């Protein structure tokens, strides 16, 4: 993990990995704008925030700078279109530690079919999956950082991710399950 300052925070990254048990599930819910409306105890413990600190905060509060912007864009584009997605995500805790999750993010619909918010369950990924995802995300982040602008970097990294997925003949969620 990088030693740079964490995204949107003055907390330096520690390089220390936080782990959780395979029988634990991190749960959070957000409103349509991505503000946290619910976080379970496991989520609070790993993120190292109190419930009061998280409720109403943007979910990006736990975004780790090593997480490729193109993957976040894919995640949000997918759920905003009313579809579910599975993704490997590296998150940042309040102290600057990091932790990996296998996230399942789904939109929550109202009776009229409109999206009321989003729900995410996160499980502990295998060490092998983390290794593969970390290598891929490193390549994507390098493309993003080398570009002339953040938007250009996301586009170049998204194109590379698209090439990888096309070569496998898979969607991102299918690729994730293959790790």
| CATH number, domain containing residue 126 | 3.30.450.20
Q: Does 76 reside within a domain?
A: yes
| Cα-to-chain-centroid distance, residue 133 | 12
Q: Does 18 reside within a domain?
A: no
Q: Are the C-beta atoms of 82 and 107 separated by less than 8 Å?
A: yes
Q: Does 142 reside within a domain?
A: yes
Q: Are the C-beta atoms of 101 and 122 separated by less than 8 Å?
A: yes
What is the C-alpha separation between 35 and 55, in angstroms, rounded?
A: 7
Structure token digits, residue 151: 């938007």
10 pLDDT exceeds 80? Answer: no
Q: Which helix (H) or strand (E) holds 125?
A: none
Q: Does 6 reside within a domain?
A: no
Q: Can you give the pLDDT at residue 4?
A: 39
The count of structural domains within the chain is: 1
Percent of the chain with pLDDT over 90: 90
pTM of the model: 0.87
What is the C-alpha separation between 50 and 54, in angstroms, rounded?
A: 6
Q: Domain residues for 89?
A: 26-178
Q: Does 61 reside within a domain?
A: yes
Q: What is the mean pLDDT of the chain?
A: 92
């Amino acid at each position: 993990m990088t030693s740079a300052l964490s995204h949107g925070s003055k907390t330096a990254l520690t390089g220390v990995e936080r782990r959780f048990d395979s029988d634990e599930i991190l749960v959070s819910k957000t409103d349509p704008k991505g503000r946290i409306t619910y976080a379970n105890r496991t989520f609070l413990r790993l993120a190292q925030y109190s419930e009061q600190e998280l409720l109403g905060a943007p979910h990006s509060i736990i975004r780790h700078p090593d997480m490729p912007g193109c993957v976040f864009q894919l995640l949000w584009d997918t759920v905003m279109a009313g579809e579910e997605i599975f993704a490997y995500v590296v998150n940042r805790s309040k102290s600057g530690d990091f932790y990996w999750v296998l996230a399942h993010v789904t939109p929550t619909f109202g009776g009229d079919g409109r999206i009321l918010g989003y729900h995410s369950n996160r499980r502990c990924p295998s060490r092998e999956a983390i290794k593969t995802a970390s290598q891929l995300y490193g390549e994507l982040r390098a493309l993003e950082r080398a570009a002339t602008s953040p938007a250009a970097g996301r586009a170049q990294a998204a194109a590379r991710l698209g090439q990888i997925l096309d070569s496998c003949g898979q969607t991102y969620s299918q690729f994730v399950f293959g790790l």
